[in-house]
């Protein structure tokens, strides 16, 4: 039997536990992971600080816009809050702006009651609509068995995704999923009916 001489002592030693003692260096290393080159609009600097309030209590440092911008960047690049703080700090440094970046605890606390406001305005003139479609194959759970074991092939089934695109705003304003026999001309009336804005 291998290692029979260590049987009496096996699993008798407690597992070593290591505690983080240098929290400032640890947090700084996590923030440094978020440094990357990207650019923000210069108009964002004027909305970065929170307006003065007249009530009692402490004054907020960052506006809701600043918290929303930081959290949005963190979600887009899949970064935790410390990396998001470092990411925003590097952006402000590259832009040459003397603005503080929200720390990770502020981002966590302020995001709870944050109300996101959509500033997008509906166009008053009719929009231009570009319609195209793409085929989507429906995958089944037995597909890997057919490929691995060489069983009989099943008939492929497809669906067609019709997309309505506004080239002026760059947004997809309508979409519809149909069978593969439906063409763009047939799906066009239903696509237009689902758009709130007038279509030119």
Q: Is residue 41 part of a domain?
A: yes
Contact residues for 136 (Cβ-Cβ < 8 A; gap 6+): 158, 159, 160, 161, 177
Q: Does 49 fall in a domain?
A: yes
Q: Whole-model pTM above 0.85?
A: no
Same domain for 62 and 140, yes or no, is no
Tell whether 6 is covered by a domain: no
Question: Do 103 and 156 lie in a common domain?
Answer: no
Task: Pick the last residue of a domain from 51, 76, 110.
Answer: 110
Would 117 be classed as within a structural domain? no
Cα atoms in the 13 Å half-sphere on the side-chain side of 117:
6
Tell me what the mean pLDDT of segment 80-84 comes to: 92
In-domain check, residue 56? yes
> Could you tell me if 188 and 135 lie in one domain?
yes
Residue where a domain stops, chosen among 82, 110, 138: 110
Domain of 166 in residue numbering reads as 130-193
Q: What is the mean pLDDT of the chain?
A: 79
If asked whether residues 63 and 100 sit together in one domain, one would say yes
135 with 187, same domain?
Answer: yes
Does one domain contain both 135 and 70?
Answer: no
Tell me: the pLDDT tens digits for 155-175?
Answer: 667 888 888 888 887 788 888
Domain count, the chain: 2
Q: Round the CA-based radius of gyration of the chain to a whole number and report it.
A: 28
Q: What is the pLDDT of residues 11-69, one digit of tens each?
A: 666 677 777 788 888 888 888 777 665 666 767 778 888 888 777 777 788 888 888 88
């Amino acid at each position: 039997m291998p290692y029979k001489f260590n049987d009496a002592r096996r699993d008798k030693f407690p597992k070593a536990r290591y505690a983080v003692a240098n929290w400032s260096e640890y947090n700084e290393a996590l923030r440094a992971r978020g440094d990357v080159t990207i650019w923000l609009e210069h108009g964002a600097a004027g909305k970065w600080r929170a307006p003065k309030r007249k009530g009692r209590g402490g004054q907020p440092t960052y506006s809701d816009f600043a918290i929303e911008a930081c959290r949005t960047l963190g979600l887009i690049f899949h970064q935790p809050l410390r990396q998001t703080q470092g990411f925003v700090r590097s952006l402000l440094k590259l832009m040459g702006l003397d603005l503080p970046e929200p720390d990770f605890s502020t981002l966590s606390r302020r995001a709870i009651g944050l109300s996101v406001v959509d500033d997008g305005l509906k166009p008053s003139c009719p929009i231009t609509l570009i319609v195209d479609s793409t085929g989507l194959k429906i995958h089944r759970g037995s597909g890997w068995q057919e490929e691995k074991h060489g069983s009989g092939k099943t008939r492929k089934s497809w669906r067609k995704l019709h997309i309505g695109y506004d080239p002026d705003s760059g947004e997809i304003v309508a979409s519809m999923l149909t069978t593969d026999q439906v063409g763009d001309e047939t799906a066009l009336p239903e696509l237009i009916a689902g758009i709130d804005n007038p279509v030119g």
